[in-house]
C-alpha cells in the first residue's frame, strides 16, 4: 500500500571571506562564501535533513559529525546521495521538494534554475517537482546583515513500489 511522509530541514552557515559559495551544488560567483567543516552547502544540508526527517532517520549531524576528519570539505552532493541511499533502504523515495534560501546577498535569481536542475538530478526527480525560493532578510538580523545564509526545505517521500520487482 502506498504511503507518504513529509519532512522538514533547516541549516545555517556563516558568510565569510575566502570561501566559495556553493548552493544546491552550484558554484555561485560572489566575493564571499559559506564557512564550515564541509562544503557548507546549506541547501543540500537542509534537503538531506528533510529527507532524514520524513524517513524518521535522525539528522545529518549524527551521520556526518563535524568532529570526524573524514567529513572535512565533504561535498554536499556526496552527503545527499548517501542520505538518499539510507532513505531508500528504509523504503522511501522523494516525490517533491520545496526550498527557501534566506540570503541578503547575492541575488540568487540568476542561479535559481541551475540550482533547481541540480537538486532534481541529485534527488532523481523531475525538475518540475523541485522549487527554489529566495528571500532577503530585509536588512534585519544576522541574515539581513549578510552574516549568514540559512535554508529551509520540505520534502515529501512515498513508499518505494516493490511490486514490479522479483
Q: Which residues bind ligand CDP (CB under 6 A)?
A: 103, 107-109, 134-136
Does residue 39 touch Zn ion according to CB under 5 A? no
Residues 105-164 that bind Zn ion (CB under 5 A): none
Residue 14 touches which of ligand CDP, Zn ion, none (Cβ within 5-8 Å per kind): none
Does 11 sit near Zn ion (CB under 5 A)?
yes
| Residue (80 or 134) nearer to ligand CDP, CB | 134
Q: What is the DSSP string of 35-97?
A: -SSS---HHHHHHHHHHHHHTT---HHHHS-TT-GGGTT--HHHHHHHHHHHHHHTTEEEEEE
Adjacency order of strands within the sheet including 148-159: 32-34, 4-17, 148-159, 92-102, 130-135
Cβ nearer to ligand CDP, comparing 56 with 140: 140
Stretch of residues binding Zn ion (CB under 5 A), selected from 5-13, 77-85, 86-94, 114-122: 5-13
**Residue 108 interacts with which of Zn ion, ligand CDP, none, CB < 5 to 8 Å by class:** ligand CDP
Cβ closest to ligand CDP, residue 54 vs residue 119: 119
The Cα-based distances of 79 to 16, 28, 86, 157 in angstroms read: 22, 19, 11, 18
Residue 12 and residue 61 in contact, taking contact as beta carbons nearer than 8 Å: no
**45 in contact with Zn ion (CB under 5 A):** yes
Binding site for Zn ion (CB under 5 A): 11, 45
Amino acid at each position: 500500500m502506498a504511503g507518504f511522509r513529509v519532512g522538514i530541514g533547516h541549516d545555517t552557515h556563516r558568510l565569510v571571506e575566502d570561501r566559495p559559495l556553493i548552493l544546491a551544488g552550484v558554484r555561485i560567483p560572489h566575493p564571499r562564501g559559506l564557512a564550515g567543516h564541509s562544503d557548507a552547502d546549506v541547501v543540500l544540508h537542509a534537503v538531506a535533513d528533510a529527507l532524514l526527517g520524513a524517513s524518521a532517520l535522525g539528522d545529518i549531524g549524527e551521520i556526518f559529525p563535524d568532529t570526524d576528519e573524514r567529513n572535512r570539505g565533504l561535498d554536499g552532493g556526496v552527503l545527499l546521495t548517501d542520505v538518499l541511499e539510507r532513505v531508500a533502504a528504509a523504503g522511501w523515495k522523494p516525490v517533491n521538494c520545496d526550498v527557501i534560501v534566506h540570503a541578503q546577498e547575492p541575488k540568487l535569481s540568476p542561479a535559481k534554475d541551475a540550482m533547481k536542475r541540480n537538486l532534481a538530478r541529485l534527488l532523481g526527480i523531475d525538475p518540475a517537482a523541485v522549487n527554489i525560493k529566495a528571500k532577503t532578510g530585509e536588512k534585519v538580523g544576522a541574515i539581513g546583515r549578510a552574516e549568514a545564509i540559512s535554508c529551509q526545505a520540505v520534502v515529501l517521500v512515498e513508499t518505494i513500489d516493490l511490486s514490479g520487482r522479483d
